[in-house]
Amino acid sequence: MQILLRRLYNGGFNHLKSTHFLVQRAPRTVIPASSRFCTTDTQENSGQFSVPSNIDRESSSDGPGKPQREAERLTRTAMSAEFVKANEKYVADFGDKGSLPIPPSKKLAIVTCMDARLNLYALLGVKEGEAHIIRNAGGIAKDALRSIIISQRLLGTREIAVIHHTSCGMISFKTPQLRSLIKESDPSNPAVQAVDEIDFLEFSDLDQSVKDDVAWLKVNPLVLPESQITGWVYDVETGTIRQIV
């Protein structure tokens, strides 16, 4: 199985490798710095949060200074505090979810968009432990293939639901436009040229995009032939879902 996975990883995912390269080498974003809210770049955020004056920077690693220094090392954003606060409430009602098995109990993998308006658990009535939810920009099957293979071959899922949605950002641009935008944001950096290797997989027809993704999965030799595959559109204005395929 390890050999199989290694072969899969080494072929057919060039666009994902390119994405990784771009993230490592290129500027973090083309969004103006003034509108940035959260970033993982520690240097950019240093100084955003003041360090409490009572922290002993020189204390022994065996003493109470260690966790304090660890806290200093972490990037702090406005969201960090919200995460911690919300998580405390979540843990209070965590119940027995810690004993859930890894394989999804409904043997279901959902491929859907990363759009912030989609609450897949709520809109489909799916609970923790029941399904894999594989998300990317647009909910594009091709971009989800790596996860689908792992979901099926290692964790036993046999049904795939592709869910795209109305008002998707993937309808609003073309790959050449986005490539130009990124390259023009940092023209002196040759690493940024790697964006030319990325197909952003946008689409212009919503229903057709679902049909295309389902058809692509059904004939893909890396997807199990016994898979049950359906395609859906979620309406962000009404909350309703509509089966396409």
| Site stretch for Zn ion (CB under 5 A), options 72-80, 105-113, 178-186, 193-201 | 105-113
C-beta closer to Zn ion: residue 160 or 168 = 168
| Site stretch for Zn ion (CB under 5 A), options 92-100, 113-121, 197-205, 222-230 | 113-121
- Judged by phi (left if over 0) then psi (alpha if -120 to 50, else beta), residue 35 lies in alpha
**Range 165-224, binding Zn ion (CB under 5 A):** 168
17/13 Cα distance (integer angstroms) = 6
135/115 Cα distance (integer angstroms) = 9
What is the nearest approach in angstroms of Zn ion to the Cβ of residue 213?
Answer: 13
Binder among 26, 115, 124, 162 for Zn ion (CB under 5 A): 115
32/38 Cα distance (integer angstroms) = 12
C-beta closer to Zn ion: residue 168 or 229 = 168
What is the nearest approach in angstroms of Zn ion to the Cβ of residue 209?
Answer: 10
Query: What is the gyration radius of the CA atoms in the chain, in angstroms?
Result: 22
C-beta closer to Zn ion: residue 49 or 203 = 203
Q: Which residue has the tokens 């859907």?
A: 112
Q: Which spans in 58-205 are helix H?
A: 65-73, 78-92, 120-124, 141-153, 175-185
C-beta closer to Zn ion: residue 115 or 152 = 115
Beta bridge partners of 108: 131, 159
Q: Tell me the longest C-alpha to C-alpha distance in the chain.
A: 63
Burial state string for 93-106 with b = 16 or more CB within 10 A and e = fewer than 16: eeeeeeeeeeebeb
Q: Does 233 bind Zn ion (CB under 5 A)?
A: no
Which tokens go with 6?
A: 């290694």
What is the nearest approach in angstroms of Zn ion to the Cβ of residue 91?
Answer: 31
What is the nearest approach in angstroms of Zn ion to the Cβ of residue 117?
Answer: 9
Total residues at interface with Zn ion (CB under 5 A)? 3
C-beta closer to Zn ion: residue 68 or 175 = 175
C-beta closer to Zn ion: residue 164 or 194 = 164
Instruction: Burial-class residue 10 by CB neighbours within 10 Å (0-12, 13-18, 19+).
Output: exposed
What is the nearest approach in angstroms of Zn ion to the Cβ of residue 231?
Answer: 15
What is the nearest approach in angstroms of Zn ion to the Cβ of residue 33?
Answer: 25
* C-alpha closest to that of 223 among 162, 161, 149, 157: 149
C-beta closer to Zn ion: residue 165 or 179 = 165
Q: Which residues contact Zn ion by CB under 5 A?
A: 113, 115, 168
